[in-house]
Amino acid sequence: MSDGQTIASDESPSSDELRERSRKALQAQQQPTVTVLSSLIAVQDELHYIPDEAIEETATHMKSTINDVWSVASFYTNFRFTPPGDHTIDVCWGPSCHLGGAQNVMLRVHSELGVDEEGETADGKLTLRYSTCLGACALAPVIAVDHHMKGRQTPDSAAAVVNGLKGA
C-alpha cells in the first residue's frame, strides 16, 4: 500500500472475527484433498483477502508452520494481504478490449479514481484491478463492477460508472 492510503477501520472486522471466519472457511472445505493452497483460496473466498490471522489459522489447520503457509501465499499473485475496497472495478485491457479502446477507458478510470495503477483509492473504498480478459470479448471494451460486466464502454460511460460508486 502506498503512502496516504488508508482503510476504513470503523467497519473492519476484529482479529477474533477474522480468526473465526477463517476457521469456518478452513473447516468447510469439502474436496478430498485439502492443501495449504486450497485452504488459502477458501479463506480468501470468505474474507476477500488473507490477513495475518488467516495465515496463522491455516498453519494450525494444516499442521504446518507460518513460514510454510506464507511461502505458498506469497508465491501466488492472486492472493492479496490487505482488505479490498467496498467495491472492485476490473478494467479489461485484453486484446479485444485493447482494439476497442480500452486504453482510453483505463486512463479515464485512473483519472476519476485519482490513481495511476491497480490498488485502492486514497480513501480505501474502491479497488481497481486490471484484467487480461473478463470473458466478454464480444462486448469490448469491458469493465466489471463487483464481477458484474458492463460492456461497450467509452471513457465517459466508465467515468459515470466510477462516479456512481463514489457515493455508494
How many of the chain's residues bind ligand FES (CB under 6 A)?
12
Q: Under DSSP, is residue 131 helix (H, G, I), strand (E, B) or coil?
A: strand
Q: 53-92 mask for ligand FES (x: CB under 6 A)?
A: ---------------------------------------x
Q: DSSP of 56-104, one letter per residue?
A: HHHHHHTT--HHHHHHHHHH-TT--SS---SEEEEEE-SHHHHHTTHHH
User: Are 52 and 62 within 8 A, CB to CB?
Assistant: no
Quick one: three-class SS letters along 30-57?
CCCCCCHHHHHHHHHHHHCCCCHHHHHH
Q: Binding to ligand FES by residue 153, rule CB under 6 A?
A: no
Classify 79 in phi/psi space as left (phi over 0), alpha (psi -120 to 50) or beta: beta
- Residue 130 as a binder of ligand FES (CB under 6 A): the answer is no
Does 137 engage in binding with ligand FES (CB under 6 A)? yes
Interface with ligand FES, residue 97, by CB under 6 A: yes
Query: Is residue 95 a contact partner of residue 138, using CB atoms and an 8 Å limit?
Result: no
Question: 142 or 165: whose CB is closer to ligand FES?
Answer: 142
Residue 127, helix vs strand vs coil: strand
Shorter beta-carbon distance to ligand FES: residue 47 or 97: 97
How far is C-alpha 146 from the chain's CA centre? 9
Residue 141: CB minimum distance to ligand FES, A:
7
The interface region with ligand FES, picked from 24-32, 58-66, 80-88, 128-136 by CB under 6 A, is 128-136
Residue 60 vs 96, nearer CB to ligand FES: 96
144 binds ligand FES (CB under 6 A): no
Return residues touching ligand FES (CB under 6 A).
92, 94-97, 133-137, 140, 142
